Structure 1
Amino acid sequence: MSFEKKQVNYQEIHTKEFISNFIKSFWEFETCEKECDFEILPDGFFDLIFEIKNGQIIKVSLTGVWTKQIKISIPENTKLIGVRFKLISAEYVFKQSIKELKNTKTELPLTTLGFQSFDLYNFEKFTDSITKKLQYGLENLKEIDNRKFELFKILYEQKGKISVQEISERIFWSSRQINRYFNSRFGFSLKTFCNILKCHSSLKHIANGKLFPENDYYDQAHFIKQVKQITGSTPTNLYLNKNDRFLQLTTIEAT
């Protein structure tokens, strides 16, 4: 069985140390000679995306968190650089709720965070400059709520495989208050977020043809139901990835 392969270039740099509590990774994506259509699957992050032409930023977009699959179209010969933020960054980097951005995005000024002055031709230099700028600001914040810091650290480390009750007990924050925080800041519950993280962590297994539960699902039927609820597709259809439809599964092979 053969499918058309999209001609794209992709690379990703993962963060380390302190800044990794706020940013998961930086990514660079380039299309070739024709427009590419994809579907984005929920991953538990939100992105700041720079669209670049001839070494200049022509558009800056901020996404919310995807809770369902989203169709996108990327123009031909287009370069995108993205910063994949963890949810705590909404409050401490952007200082705003991103509830209204759930499953959508908004355009920001080209001068957002002053990144337009950085080297857009060298991906590593660009990401180094962003890291230094954001880390300086975060390290000099007067106060970061330790409960929120620990909450997201646990959630991402456990990839959602932890109960709401256990989280509440570990960080001394009631489940009702945590859910109120999630709904007011992001537009969904903590349980929904855990399910998204758990499903996303299964994508690498699915891409490798492992179509059975490995991440705390009750059984095969529960695994299929949860994956389909979040991605809109069964594990089998995700694995087949016809015409490179699912961007994350396509780029798993590129990293």
Structure 2
Amino acid sequence: MRDRVFFPSDILKPFVKNYWTCRHDTDVLEVMYPSGCVELCIDISTNDTVRHRGSNAMKVPSLEVLGHWTIPTMAALTKGNTCLITRFHPHANALFFPNPASDFTNESIDLCDIFNKESGDFYNRLMEQPTLEQKVEVLEAFLIQRLVRNKRSDQQLKLVEHLCNYVAQEDRAFNIQDLSAHYGFSERYIQKLFMDWVGITPQKFFSVQRFNRSLELLRSSPQPLTSIAFECGYYDQAHFIKEFKSYTGLTPNQVKKLC
């Protein structure tokens, strides 16, 4: 369950959506929903989490870069597990990691494999702090340090931000030709920008945004599936169910019962 939410300082606000803690009071097997964002997940309870994808299972590292999930995935969490999670804006996660964002897609990457000793020192400092607020301060200092070292192009960053906003606001079927014509860049160049900066293609990014709109309506609205499908821009209910199941392994009705 989501416990507490913290908002970033002014210097990080353009790049980080928020920080939040996720705490579990019982052992649970949770469906992982694609968020449309890359996240940095820090286990601050030292309780094991195991992620399941089909017949494969893996222990989650204490410092985890969690990329975009576009395939059905479950997480087995033990009682007492608490994570401190940084959710980056879709266009901005590449500012904090040297890898192309696509390296993280459908992957759980140990931050120590990226930054070596620096990651271990950061984790030790964070875990030494007695309060959650102080842990967030250490996290912010680490992210600001990474941001200052960033060598990425500000011009490209702004372009990717505009592209993401344009795609996220689309309420009809996505068409990369329209996106290319609107911004005056080739389809190939836009595809590469998305893979490097966001981690998924613009088509997949649109699909995940649409999925999240439908998930919110499932949780909050009494509308029938046909109405939700139409409102979110799916061709029909069958299309809605097929795409929903491709992300979660469950039908919309099955997820609604979990809400």
TM-score range, shorter chain: 0.7 to 0.9
- SS of the equivalent of 2:177 reads helix
Partner of 1:25: 18
- C-alpha displacement at 1:200, in angstroms? 1.2
TM-score by length of 1: 0.73
2:72–2:249 contact (8 Å) kept in structure 1: yes
Q: Distance in 2 between matches of 1:174 and 1:20?
A: 30
Partner of 2:183: 171
2:125–2:138 contact (8 Å) kept in structure 1: no
- C-alpha displacement at 1:46, in angstroms? 1.5
Gaps of 5+ in 1: 1-7, 242-248, 250-255
Aligned length: 231
Change (3 A) 1:85 1:52: same
Alignment of 1:84 with 2:87, yes or no, is: yes
2:8–2:18 contact (8 Å) kept in structure 1: yes
Partner of 2:45: 53
Alignment of 1:11 with 2:11, yes or no, is: no
Alignment of 1:36 with 2:28, yes or no, is: yes
Change (3 A) 1:187 1:83: closer
Q: More relative contact order in 1 or in 2 (CA 8 Å, sep 6+)?
A: 1
- SS of the equivalent of 1:228 reads helix
Partner of 1:244: none
Change (3 A) 1:172 1:61: same
Gaps of 5+ in 2: 47-60
- For 1:98-131, what per-residue CA distance to the aligned partner results, in whole angstroms no more than 9, with x for missing partners? 3233222022238439465358554445445645
- SS of the equivalent of 1:62 reads strand
Q: Distance in 2 between matches of 1:78 and 1:160?
A: 40
Aligned mate of 2:235, from 192, 196, 218: 218
- SS of the equivalent of 1:53 reads coil
TM-score by length of 2: 0.72
- SS of the equivalent of 1:84 reads strand
Report the residue type matching 1:47 in the other structure: E
Report the residue type matching 2:164 in the other structure: F
Alignment of 1:227 with 2:227, yes or no, is: no
Report the residue type matching 1:215 in the other structure: C
Q: Distance in 2 between matches of 1:66 and 1:159?
A: 22
Aligned mate of 2:166, from 140, 154, 159: 154
1:70–1:103 contact (8 Å) kept in structure 2: no
Percent identity, aligned pairs only?
20
- SS of the equivalent of 1:218 reads coil
Give the CA RMSD over aligned residues: 3.4
The 5 A counterparts of 1:122-201 are 122-127=131-136, 130-131=139-140, 134=143, 138=147, 143-144=153-154, 145=156, 146-156=158-168, 163-183=175-195, 188-201=200-213
Alignment of 1:117 with 2:134, yes or no, is: no
Q: Distance in 1 between matches of 2:168 and 2:134?
A: 27
